[in-house]
Copies of this chain bind each other. A is one copy, B any other.
Amino acid sequence: MDHQHVKDTVRQIFTEYLSLNGHRKTPERYAILDIIYSIDGHFDIDTLYMLMAERKKFRVSRATLYNTIILLINANLVVKHQFGNSSQYEKCYSQGTHHHQICTQCGKVSEFHSEELQQVIGNTKLKNFRLAHYSLYIYGLCTKCSRAKTMKQKKLNNQNNQKKEK
């Protein structure tokens, strides 16, 4: 599915959602949806705010962004993540399911795919619960930080040993 086709489809889904739930179809809402579906990867409200001003020459307030994002989440067009300090969002229609690995040291987030994981999680039987979507976050150290930490550890060990020998 090409880019424009996706944008048209999500627009349609959003329209349906708004109608079905008795919300108004304001130009702000569609403009926000449009920008979000032209962003690859994660974004936070602040980034979105700046992109809106930049790309669309269409200013909306942060309050509206927060309001609209909630609608988009309920319409299953956006997912919310909470790594780091501020909430991160991501489009989710026609995106391949992916998982996140987060470096606890430098905070870097990368994505990976795994058919097997996807299947097992999707098939998990839940009691008293209707699954909508899920997030798997793998925490650990990226190669770079892992190396740095080992170095630091060694250094400290040496210092400790030297103290004991004194």
Please give the residue numbers on chain A whose beta carbons come within 8 Å of chain B beta carbons, in ascending order. 19-22, 73-74, 82-83, 101, 103-104, 110, 112, 114, 116-117, 120-121, 124, 126-143, 146, 153, 156-157, 159-160
Contact = CB atoms under 8 A, between A and B. Distances in A.
Given A101-B129, A112-B127, A116-B124, 15 more contacts: A19-B160, A20-B156, A21-B156, A101-B126, A103-B129, A104-B132, A114-B124, A116-B120, A128-B143, A129-B140, A130-B141, A131-B140, A134-B137, A134-B138, A135-B137
- Looking at chain A's contact residues, the main secondary structure is mixed
How many protomers of this protein does the assembly include?
2
7 contacts: A20-B156, A20-B160, A22-B156, A104-B132, A126-B138, A131-B139, A132-B139
